[in-house]
A = this chain, B = another copy of it.
Amino acid sequence: MYFQALFLFSLVIISSSQAAVLDFCVGDLSLPDGPGGYACKKPSKVTADDFVFSGLAATGKIIPLIKAAVTPAFAPQFPGVNGLGISMARLDLAISGVIPMHTHPGASEVLYVVQGEICAGFISSSDNKVFFKTLKQGDIMVFPQGLLHFQINSGKTSALAIISFSSPTPGLQITDFALFANDLPTELVAATTFLDAALIKKLKGVLGGTN
């Protein structure tokens, strides 16, 4: 008798979900996306693997120029976070490593120091006030949305941090790359940054920019 009860009850619940599982929306990167994120993978094809990502487990590839690596687990890499208002990334900072001045255009960030010592800070927009502090292992720091901020390995060992964001697609705009690693004409860079053309051309050379 109990079994029959269950059977009937399940019918009600199942009929309410026949078209889609709406608890989540694992991104299907092969379909057109929209302002809110990727279209959803069919629920029948979603497995536990869609919600797990191992790409942050290993040290990222350290870039000599900055002696650091950023490894993202944003929606394009980890489609399980699509639509859920959150994502993660891993920062590896070799000795003297730096994550240069940058912003995340669409998200606030919290950083957790897994290992090492990191000097981190951000700059307020209204009065250019700087907030920075040296963080020890286990400390966390929050960086409000869209503000310029940086992280520097201030210790004597390599450092590792896990950062999380208030968006599955926080974006990452490194100021130097935005200014010098593209074809924005030198005179426009000069006019909008107060830097002189010779320096701009030199930095474009280093960072791969042209014009």
Contacts and interface: CB of A to CB of B under 8 A. Distances in A.
A144 B78 CA distance: 14
A128 B9 CA distance: 13
Interface centre among A22, A85, A144 (most CB of B within 10 A): A22
Interface of A: 1-25, 28-29, 31-40, 46-49, 51-54, 56-58, 60-61, 63-66, 69-78, 80-88, 98-101, 103-110, 112, 114, 119, 121-133, 135-148, 150, 152, 162, 164-166, 169, 171-179, 181-184, 188, 191-195, 199, 203, 205-208
A35 B85 CA distance: 10
Contacts of A137: 57
B105 A142 contact: no
Given A40-B33, A100-B192, A64 B131 contact: no
Given A74-B16, A130-B184, A81 B65 contact: no
A81 B182 CA distance: 24
B60 A12 contact: yes
Contacts of A208: 3, 6-7, 10
A70 B137 CA distance: 18
Contact of A86 (B29, B121, B166, B181): B166
Contacts of A103: 103, 105, 125, 146
Contacts of A182: 123, 128-130
A179 B101 contact: yes
B29 A34 contact: no
7 contacts: A2-B205, A13-B172, A24-B144, A98-B192, A103-B103, A125-B172, A175-B175
Contact of A22 (B11, B98, B126): B126
A4 B135 CA distance: 31
Contact of A191 (B125, B133, B152): B152
Contacts of A47: 131
